[in-house]
């Protein structure tokens, strides 16, 4: 649409509100405001108008200002809800946000609560002019108004900068993810994001939740708030606070059931390995020849594993690797002796735990560098401060319930 048509038809522009739903109460806690133009063929998004740099900024600001005012008028009637306003940080920084803050102060006298106002800045918008932006954000937060970093991409997110900005809310956009299976890499980046926001005391909000899988994804990654077409589209009016409560409750039940099954599967495997192993260990008279020990254990546990080795409590490997050949025979890799594993994630923690609890641990799913496939490792405390490691291949995990 011609930008001029937008400017000349301001009276046809209205705010649309997309509900934001909380995980804890499953109710609408706020709305993000979008500008829409009423046309004969239905409401038209003005998203491209606001992001088109060829349109003079004052025009865009004028429309932005107009929609914001309409939204603020509406929100003073519902002061308990969060109002998410999309802000062009480069535009408000020109007057140190004076105009915007004056406007908010005006509505504050009419009942608007500052701590319910969330100014949403796009992650890519603080790529330049970072220190000025940081300064302005700190000032805005000091008034009680909240800052959200929106559109945080999974591939592009710069965790260090995000941490430094200390936003109140981090909006992770999962809208662009396609299909039902998310690459492992996304899961890990999201996991880091989720840990980071927890440390910072920021609230995590997943936006672009447009199907069941993404809601599950948000739930598993510690998102406190959800936003997306799967739950609610932008509307010209507010929706009932409990409009999707029943749906979410049902979905949560399915999620919990699924996780329960997974955890049960892991506990059952741990138990099975522990039993088989204990029976095998009883037949081992001495630990003088550790290569002989790993071969014996490997043969007894051959259904579960493709690699077995023994390490001391400093992480130095004391046996060769027993490795299963294509034909299913066990062979020794002598050069793996004296390799050190203490630098690996969780290694020390697991050693101490095994030593203390005197029982085995099943690891999470991770990629084995040699085999280049997802595996789990079962580790178990032996005598004389030695620890046994049993690598379980993908092919086995795949056959069982809840292990992937």
Per CB under 5 A, residues contacting Ca ion are 86, 120, 150
Nearer to Ca ion, 64 or 120 (CB): 120
DSSP class per residue in 177-215 = --SS---HHHHHHHHHHHHHHHHHTPEEEEE---SHHHH
Query: At its nearest, how many Å lie between Ca ion and the CB of residue 36?
Result: 14
Nearer to Ca ion, 50 or 396 (CB): 50
Query: At its nearest, how many Å lie between Ca ion and the CB of residue 122?
Result: 7
Nearer to Ca ion, 86 or 266 (CB): 86
- Residue identified by tokens 């130095």 is 316
Nearer to Ca ion, 86 or 157 (CB): 86
Query: At its nearest, how many Å lie between Ca ion and the CB of residue 182?
Result: 22
Nearer to Ca ion, 149 or 351 (CB): 149
Query: At its nearest, how many Å lie between Ca ion and the CB of residue 227?
Result: 9
DSSP state of 391: E
Q: What are phi and psi of 386, to 5 degrees?
A: -110, 150
Task: State whether residue 140 is helix, strand or coil.
Answer: helix
Nearer to Ca ion, 18 or 320 (CB): 18
DSSP class per residue in 147-187 = EEEEEE-TTT--HHHHHHH--SEEEEE-TT--SS---HHHH
Query: At its nearest, how many Å lie between Ca ion and the CB of residue 105?
Result: 24
DSSP state of 359: S
Alpha helices in 283-334 (DSSP H): 290-300
Query: At its nearest, how many Å lie between Ca ion and the CB of residue 30?
Result: 12
Query: At its nearest, how many Å lie between Ca ion and the CB of residue 307?
Result: 48
Nearer to Ca ion, 87 or 375 (CB): 87
- As a whole number of angstroms, the longest Cα–Cα distance in the chain is 91
Angle, to 10 degrees, between the axis of helix 98-109 and the axis of helix 57-75? 20
Distance separating alpha carbons of residues 76 and 368, to the nearest angstrom: 56
């Amino acid at each position: 649409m011609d930008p001029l048509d937008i400017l000349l038809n301001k009276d046809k522009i209205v705010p649309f509100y997309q509900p934001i739903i909380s995980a804890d109460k499953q109710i609408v806690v706020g709305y993000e405001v979008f500008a829409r133009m009423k046309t004969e063929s239905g409401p038209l998004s003005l998203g491209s108008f606001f992001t088109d740099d060829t349109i003079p900024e004052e025009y865009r600001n004028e429309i932005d200002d107009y929609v914001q005012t309409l939204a603020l008028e509406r929100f003073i009637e519902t002061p308990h809800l969060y109002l998410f306003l999309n802000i062009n940080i480069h535009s408000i920084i020109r007057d140190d946000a004076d105009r915007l803050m004056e406007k908010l102060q005006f509505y504050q006298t009419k009942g608007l609560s500052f701590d319910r106002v969330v100014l949403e800045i796009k992650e890519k918008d603080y790529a330049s002019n970072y220190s000025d932006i940081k300064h302005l954000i700190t000032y805005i937060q000091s008034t009680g108004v909240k800052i959200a970093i929106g559109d945080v991409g999974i591939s592009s997110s710069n965790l260090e900068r995000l941490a430094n900005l200390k936003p109140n809310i981090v909006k992770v956009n999962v809208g662009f993810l396609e299909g039902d299976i998310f690459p492992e890499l996304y899961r890990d980046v999201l996991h880091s994001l989720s840990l980071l926001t927890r440390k910072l005391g920021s609230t995590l909000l997943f936006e672009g939740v447009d199907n069941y899988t993404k809601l599950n994804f948000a739930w598993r990654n510690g998102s406190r708030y959800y936003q997306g077409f799967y739950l609610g589209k932008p509307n010209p009016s507010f929706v009932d606070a409990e409009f999707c409560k029943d749906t979410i409750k049902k979905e949560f039940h399915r999620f919990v059931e699924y996780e329960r099954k997974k955890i049960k599967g892991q506990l059952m495997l741990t138990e099975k390995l522990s039993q088989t192993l204990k029976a095998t260990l009883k037949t081992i008279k001495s630990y003088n020849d550790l290569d002989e020990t790993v071969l014996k254990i490997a043969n007894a546990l051959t259904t579960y594993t493709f690699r077995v080795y023994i390490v001391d409590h400093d992480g130095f490997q004391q046996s060769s690797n027993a490795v299963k050949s294509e034909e299913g025979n066990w062979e020794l890799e002598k050069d793996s002796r004296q390799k050190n594993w203490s630098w690996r994630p969780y290694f020390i923690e697991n050693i101490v735990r095994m030593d203390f609890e005197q029982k085995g641990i099943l690891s999470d799913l991770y990629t084995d560098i040699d085999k280049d496939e997802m595996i789990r490792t079962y580790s178990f405390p032996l005598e004389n401060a030695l620890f046994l490691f049993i690598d379980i291949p993908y092919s086995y995990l795949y056959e069982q319930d809840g292990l992937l």
